[in-house]
Amino acid sequence: MNDSREIIIFDTTLRDGEQAPGCSMTIGEKLKIAHSLKELNVDVIEAGFAAASPGDFDAVSTIASEIDGPTICSLARCNESDIEKANEALKPNKNRRIHVFVATSEIHLKHKLNMAKDEVLKAAFEGVKMAKSFCENVEFSPEDASRTDHGFLTEVVDAAIEAGATTINVPDTVGYTIPYEFGELFNHLIKNCTNTENVIFSVHCHDDLGLSVANSLAAVESGARQIECTINGIGERAGNTSLEEVCMAIKTREEYFDFQTSIDSTKLYPTSRLVSSITGMHVPRNKAIVGDNAFAHEAGIHQHGMLRDSSTYEIMKPQDVGIARSNLVLGKHSGRHAFLDRINDLGFALEKDEIDPAFEEFKKLADRKKEIFDTDIEAIVLNADIANMSRWSLLDLETSSGSSWGSTASLKLKDSDDKIIERDNHDDPASGPIEAVFNIISDITGYALELVNFEIHSVSVGDDAQGEVTVTVGYDGQNYRGNGVSTDIIESGALAYLEVINRIERNQAKH
C-alpha cells in the first residue's frame, strides 16, 4: 500500500458525471471543462469511455491531444475491443491510464453478466494484462465491490495485481455501504491481498444514501490514496462523491486527517459554475462549499457574530473556494475597468473578442436592474462566447396573453449577414407566450424542434432577478440543450431556443 500523505484526485466528471440524465456534452464543452480541471490541478482526468460511442472516442482523443499535465484516462470493460479503443484514443498523450472494470457481486454476475466466478477472475486478469501491454499505468475496478463477497473480492483483486494493475479502485457502485463498514473492507483488502505495497488503493462512491463523501473519507482513513469524484457531485442517480466537498473536508480538517491534495481550492467555485452552465444541472442554493447559501447569513444573531469574527459561523473563508465575500453591487454608471476587475475577482477570464459583447450585455442589464450581483456577472461571462459563434440573434420581442383568446408574439431577429426579419402570430394565437415565441422562431429559422424539457432557474435575488431558462430539444434523432438569461423569463426562453438552433447549425457546419 502506498503510504504517502498526498491524496490523488481522480476526476470523472467527463465520464461518470456525463452519465447523469440530461448531462451529455459536446466535444467542445468537454474540452472546456478539461481545461478548467487542469487549472484546478486535478491529478487524473477520466475523459470518457472510448468504446461507448464514436463521440466518446473523439472526446477522449481530443482531450488526450490537447491537455498536458494531468493523467488522461479512459474507461474500458475487460474485453479486447474496449481496451484497444481506449489505447487508440489515449495514444496522443504520454501521461495516460487505461481503467478496466468487471462486475463482481453475486447480483451482477447472475442478473447482468450471466458469468461464473472463474470466468470473472479470468476476465479481470486478462483485461488488466492486455491493458498493461499498451500502457504502464493501469487501473482495475471490481464493479459493485461493496456488495461482493469479501473472499471472492480478494481473489479478483489478487488477480488484477498479479496481472500488473497499478491502481485498485474499490467502487460503492450503488451507494449501499456505510462509512465504518467500507473502512473495514479496505482494511481487509490491504491486509489480505498480495503485494498491496506496490499498488495504490482508490475509492469510488455514489450518493444514493447521501454518504458518498463520508464513505470516501472513511476509505482514506483505512488506506485509500486516491478519491474518484466529480464537480458538483454529478453522476448517475443521486450522483458521485463531490470533488469540492471531499477536498475541502481534507483541507479544513487537516489536523484530523493529516492528508493533503494538489487541488487549487480557489478555482472550485468557477469550475462548479462552468460545469453547471454546460450541463444544465443547477447547483442547489444549500449545496456545501459552492452553493449560493454556503457563505450567506441572514439571521440577526449570525450576522452579529460574523461582524465580530467570521469564524463564529464560518469554518472556511469564501475566498478559499473562489467566492467573493459579498455580492457585487454595480450599476449603469460603472465602467469597463470595474466590470473586468470584478470578473477577475470571481476567478473568470474573457478572451479579447469576448470583452465587448460581455460589457455590452452588462450595460443592457444595468439599465433594467437596480443592483447587479456576482451571480449576474457570472451568467454574462458564461454566455459571453455564444454571440461570437451564432448565426441568429434576438433584437426585439413583444408578447401579449389573455386567458380567453391565447397568446401572441412579435419577434425581430437578425442573422449573421445583418439581415433583419420580423414576424408575428397575431392571426394564429398560441396557447401560451412561450409556445408563441418558439413557433415564430421555428418559422423564421426553418427548424421544427421537439421540446423535451424546459427549466427556469433564478440567477440572483430580488424582484428584478435574472431568470435562466434551460431548454432541451430533439432534432434529427439527437438532443440539444441551450441556455438563456434575462430579467424577462419569456426572453430567456427565446434566447435559449435560439442558442439551440445556433448550436445545431454549428454542429452541421462541422460535418
Residue 117 CB contacts under 8 Å (≥ 6 apart), including other chains: 109, 152, 155
Structure confidence at residue 365 (pLDDT): 80
Helix (H, G, I), strand (E, B) or coil at 95: coil
Residue 187 sits in the same domain as residue 256: yes
* pLDDT digit string, tens, across residues 46-103: 999 999 999 999 999 999 999 999 999 999 999 999 999 999 999 999 999 999 999 9
Structure confidence at residue 304 (pLDDT): 45
Give 389's DSSP letter.
G
Residue 343 sits in the same domain as residue 437: no
* pLDDT digit string, tens, across residues 174-208: 999 999 999 999 999 999 999 999 999 999 999 99
As given in the structure block, the three cell numbers for residue 60 are 477522449
Out of 90-104, 237-251, 324-338, which region has the weakest mean confidence (pLDDT)? 324-338
Whole-angstrom Cα distance, residue 270 to residue 322? 7
Structure confidence at residue 303 (pLDDT): 38
Helix (H, G, I), strand (E, B) or coil at 368: helix
Q: What is the pLDDT averaged over residues 343-349? A: 74
Structure confidence at residue 479 (pLDDT): 79
Structure confidence at residue 12 (pLDDT): 98
Residue 339 sits in the same domain as residue 416: no
Higher pLDDT, 481 or 425: 425
Whole-angstrom Cα distance, residue 42 to residue 15? 15
- Taking each helix axis from N to C terminus, what angle separates 212-221 and 179-192, rounded to the nearest 10 degrees? 40
Structure confidence at residue 332 (pLDDT): 67
Most confident of 78-92, 357-371, 385-399: 78-92
Q: Are 79 and 53 in contact (CB under 8 A)?
A: no
How far from 439 is each of 88, 226, 293, 410, 452, CA to CA, in Å?
Answer: 45, 51, 38, 11, 15
Considering the domain boundaries, does residue 1 fall inside one?
no
Structure confidence at residue 383 (pLDDT): 66
Residue 250 sits in the same domain as residue 394: no
As given in the structure block, the three cell numbers for residue 412 are 425581430
Exposure string for 50-65, b = 16+ CB within 10 A, e = fewer: bbbeeebbebbbbbbe
The percent of residues above 90 in pLDDT, for the chain, comes to 63
Structure confidence at residue 296 (pLDDT): 60
pLDDT bucket at 404, cuts 50 / 70 / 90: confident
How far from 67 is each of 40, 87, 194, CA to CA, in Å?
Answer: 13, 16, 35
Residue 346 sits in the same domain as residue 373: yes
CB < 8 Å & 24+ apart, contacts of 82-85: 82/50, 82/51, 83/127, 83/130, 83/131, 83/134, 85/50, 85/51, 85/57
Q: What is the pLDDT averaged over residues 22-30? A: 89
Considering the domain boundaries, does residue 299 fall inside one?
yes
Considering the domain boundaries, does residue 423 fall inside one?
yes
Of 353, 373, 389, the position where a domain reaches its end is 389
Residue for cell digits 412561450? 434
Is residue 128 packed enough to be buried (19+ CB in 10 Å), middle (13-18) or exposed (0-12)? buried
Asked if pLDDT for residue 344 goes beyond 90, the answer is: no
Residue 149 sits in the same domain as residue 239: yes
The percent of residues above 70 in pLDDT, for the chain, comes to 89
Asked if pLDDT for residue 1 goes beyond 50, the answer is: no
Whole-angstrom Cα distance, residue 318 to residue 324? 6
Residue 67 sits in the same domain as residue 192: yes
The domain of 313 spans: 291-321
Q: How many CA atoms lie within 13 A of 198 on its CB side?
A: 14
Number of structural domains, the chain? 4
Considering the domain boundaries, does residue 249 fall inside one?
yes
Structure confidence at residue 327 (pLDDT): 43
- Taking each helix axis from N to C terminus, what angle separates 374-382 and 336-345, rounded to the nearest 10 degrees? 90
Residue 333 sits in the same domain as residue 347: yes
Structure confidence at residue 505 (pLDDT): 85
Helix (H, G, I), strand (E, B) or coil at 279: helix
pLDDT bucket at 15, cuts 50 / 70 / 90: very high
Q: Are 496 and 470 in contact (CB under 8 A)?
A: yes
Residue 384 sits in the same domain as residue 430: no
Considering the domain boundaries, does residue 286 fall inside one?
no
Considering the domain boundaries, does residue 3 fall inside one?
no
Residue 334 sits in the same domain as residue 226: no
* pLDDT digit string, tens, across residues 251-305: 999 999 999 999 999 999 999 999 998 998 889 988 999 987 777 643 444 434 5
> Which of 494, 273, 503, 504 is CA-nearest to residue 396?
494
Structure confidence at residue 371 (pLDDT): 64
Is the C-alpha dihedral spanning 269, 271, 272, 274 positive or negative? Answer: positive
Residue 305 sits in the same domain as residue 335: no
Considering the domain boundaries, does residue 2 fall inside one?
no
- pTM summary value: 0.74
Whole-angstrom Cα distance, residue 202 to residue 251? 19
Q: What is the pLDDT averaged over residues 397-421? A: 92
Of 389, 413, 433, the position where a domain reaches its end is 389
Structure confidence at residue 458 (pLDDT): 78
Asked if pLDDT for residue 151 goes beyond 60, the answer is: yes
Structure confidence at residue 330 (pLDDT): 62
Asked if pLDDT for residue 396 goes beyond 60, the answer is: yes
119 backbone dihedrals φ, ψ, rounded to 5°: -70, -40
Residues in the chain: 511
Whole-angstrom Cα distance, residue 144 to residue 159? 17
Asked if pLDDT for residue 28 goes beyond 60, the answer is: yes
Higher pLDDT, 25 or 100: 100
Residue 402 sits in the same domain as residue 384: no
Output the domain CATH number for residue 395.
Answer: 3.30.160.270
